[in-house]
Amino acid sequence: MAGQAIIDLEELYQQAPCGYFSLSPSGHIMKINRTLLDWLGYEQAELLDHKFSGLLSKGGQMHFEMFFWPMATVNKGVKEFSYEVLKKNGEGLPVLLNASAKLDQSKRLVAVNVVLTDITERKSFEKELLLSKKSAENEHKRLQFMADLVPEIIWTATPDGYIDYVNARFCQYFDCNGQDTRVSFIMSKVHADDRRALLADWRASMRTGEAFEKRIRLVDRDGLYEWHLLKAALFLDEEGQLTNWFGSCANIQQHVLDMKKKDDFINIASHELKTPITSLKGLLQILDRMKGDLSNKMVPGLIDKSNRNVNRINNLVADLLNASQLNDGQLHLNKSQFNFAELIGDYVHHIRIDRQYEIITEGDRSITVLADEGRMEQVLSNLITNAIKYAPDSMQIVIRLSRTPQGILLEIVDSGPGIPPEKLPHLFERYYQVSSQSAQYSGLGLGLYICAEIIRKHGGEIGAQSVLGEGSTFWFTLPA
Amino acid sequence: MDAIIKRNNVNVIGNGEQVILFAHGFGCDQHAWKFVIDAFTEDYKVVLFDYTGSGRSDLSQYDPAKYSNIDGYAQDILDVCQALDLRNVIFVGHSVSSMTGILAAIRHPEYFVKLVLIGPSPRYLNTENYTGGFEQKDLEVLFEFMENNYLGWSSAMAPAIMGNSDRPELGEFLTGSFCSTDPDVARDFARVTFMSDNRADLSKLTVPSLTLQCSNDIIAPLAVGEYVHRHTPGNEFLRLNAAGHCPHISEPEETIAAIRAFIQRN
């Protein structure tokens, strides 16, 4: 009784913060509350006895007829159907409809009562959410694209150290898919000698959160180990929360090899210099003992030998200087026109004097070139000395000079043991010696590198062919 | 026989000899007939079924290729007739089932004695010299509504936002609902229905038929009903007072009376 006095149901209905309306079995509006009329901008008389579906777009009407209405009437209820209701001014109002059917005692449909909720704000929030989700996804894809593009292995790990992302290079290098990121899998790819130290450092960084750097060998899909520089750092987000470890593995195999070559080279160079210096030292000691008797008939021989050792030292130092000049791009050419055959003749004559080799020169004797004569002599000397040095049993060396459409071609042919094919491409690299037993041959291994640089500087090409057991041909061209 | 009965969730009720086969429209299942079937079970044998992919049919039998056109659905009707060995069937089809019924009756006229077509439309899209009632863009809106409303607005948005594509709530929904159709099947069915053009088939029908035309039916407007009547041999035409597209739901008595008047006449 008190309730009746307090609550005015009709007033609640009219002023509710949602729309209410009731539809007849034919879909016509029988009752509608004030709130909804206000939202839509209609007067009650304009909507009563009109079909509710008239407030929907045509596609909406189809959906209403085929889904909403059968569901509301036969299924006795509809939950959260999303529609856009057209206001009187033509604007759309996004709404959710909840409906229930009212049946009479003989189960005949009397009405469908509908609750309408305005979801304009919710829709715009959801739209924003979707947009930001999409842009986050795009950003993620961009990063992934970038990570896949770099030639290094890139990965991320959870703060407690579990790898949760790897880039395309990772999968390619280890021949696996992006899911193979278990610690045991990765550790199986690390060289056994590097594993323990890596794990120790990794665990330490996990504890402290400090970035770390480590050189490790990783085995590739073909079973070859290559040196990598592993770097990892913990990414903190703007709130200072731990998010992820970001890591990379840069392949430093070439760098490590280069450093090793340089070390080897310094080793060789020291030995090479030490031999003539030791000889010179010995010779000088003998001469020192003879300084009272310079007329001793051994003296000229000793001086001669000393000179040869000094020349050798001089040549080695000159090679070193040349190589470092080439390295810095400081090789300057003094070009002049000269007869190439004459240059060969002079040089060969010089060698023939004290050697037993048969050196045959073939070709056009009238060919002249525009080149640095001194440098050309250096190249010639290197190639011929190499032929003699590396093919000691080859008693015959052929030097063939010919004209080509582009200029001249010089070939130096020996019939020595030949060079293994896998070594041919590296002959003209710095610090490279064909035989690993470098003690067998003297020299710094700089000769061919210097030749190649001189020829390239002249605009020519240089190369070598070889058949094991038959001999080698070194050649170069010079432009006309 | 059992296979078809299971596949199409076939139900047979009633005491009569004469068979009435009710075929539901797009978006519904056999429950759509619940307000009308009681009126016929006394005198007729009422056969109800769900199209493959709709209602409580066996979803695993849904073959997207087979049901990529309306003939696939017509075959369901013939399969039911063959499985139950039905002859001289009175066929009552709602909406798209008007057309599937016509196609079935063209292929096997001997199965059918009369067709009742509720809100038939041989083509929904407007085209040259033909008003079907819809433009392509209207259909796109419908398809969008279907997408958004399949599980209710929040259930539709949540996976899109939360990235949960598994939709675990789907199974629950399917078992408890009236329009219990798999969303993918529903989308295919909608396209099959609304993109179809069966105008040329109307003239091939040899079985007598009745068009029941609702007032204010947006899906099958008056002009379309009249078109069906004009182009279908032996078609009778009746305008109902019932408004909308589902007179068997909104005005079951009027609908029952109209069907009864037509099928009881010799």
DSSP secondary structure letters along A362-417: EE-TT-EEEEEHHHHHHHHHHHHHHHHHH-TT--EEEEEEEE-SSEEEEEEEE-SS
**pLDDT tens sequence across A91-143:** 999 998 999 999 889 888 899 999 999 989 888 887 888 888 889 889 989 98
Of the two residues A331 and A42, the one the predictor is more confident about is A42
List phi, psi (to 5°) of B113: -115, -35
With CA atoms as reference, report the closest residue to B110 among B192, B207, B15: B207
| CA R_g for chain B | 18
Task: Name B20's bridge partners.
Answer: B46, B90
Q: Do A62 and B154 touch (CB under 8 A)?
A: no
The CATH number for A2-118, chosen from 3.30.450.20, 1.10.357.10, 3.90.79.10, 3.40.640.10, is 3.30.450.20
Q: Determine the angle formed by the axes of helices B183-195 and B136-149, rounding to 10 degrees.
A: 170
Cβ distance A20 to A36 under 8 Å?
yes
Does position B55 have pLDDT exceeding 80, yes or no? yes
Select the CATH number that applies to the domain covering A335-479 from these four: 3.30.930.10, 3.40.50.1370, 3.30.565.10, 3.30.1490.20: 3.30.565.10
Average pLDDT over residues B44-63: 92
Q: Is the distance from CB of B121 to CB of B97 less than 8 angstroms?
A: no
Strand-strand pairing, B19-23 and B45-49? parallel
The residues pairing with B227 across neighbouring beta strands, listed in sequence order, are none
Does the beta-carbon distance from B244 to A60 stay under 8 Å?
Answer: no
Q: What tokens were used for B26? A: 């797009």
Q: How many residues does the structure list for chain B?
A: 266
Of 3.30.465.10, 2.60.450.10, 3.20.20.140, 3.40.50.1820, which CATH number belongs to B2-264? 3.40.50.1820
Half-sphere exposure of A348 (CA within 13 A, CB side): 19
Copy the structure tokens of residue A392. Answer: 């000691």
A314/A191 Cα distance (integer angstroms): 45
Q: Does the pLDDT value for residue A429 go beyond 50? A: yes
Which chain A residues have a beta carbon less than 8 Å from that of B139?
59, 62
Residue B56: name the closest of B86, B24, B79, B82 by CA: B24
Per-residue model confidence as pLDDT tens digits over B59-93: 889 999 999 999 999 999 999 999 999 999 999 99
Q: Look up residue B24 and give its two tokens.
A: 């539901």
Give residue A404's identity as a one-letter amino acid code.
T
Cβ neighbours for B259, distance < 8 A, ≥ 6 positions apart: B36, B92, B116, B210, B212
Give the integer Cα–Cα distance in Å for A161 and A244. Answer: 9
Return the percentage of chain A with pLDDT > 90, whole number: 28
DSSP, res A87: P
Q: Which residue bears the tokens 């001669």?
A: A304
Q: Determine whether B98 is an active site residue.
A: no
Within 8 A of B152 by CB-CB distance, chain A residues are 79-82
In contact, B117 and B98? CB cutoff 8 Å = yes
Tell me whether residues A25 and B251 touch, CB distance under 8 A.
Answer: yes
Could you give the ipTM of this predicted complex?
Answer: 0.77
Q: How far apart are CA A74 and CA A59, in angstroms?
A: 22
> Which 48-77 residues of chain A touch chain B by CB within 8 A?
51, 53, 57-63, 65-67, 69-71, 73-75
CB A347 within 8 A of CB A379: no
Name the residue with tokens 């068009």. B211
What class, spelled out in words, does domain A150-251 have in CATH? alpha beta
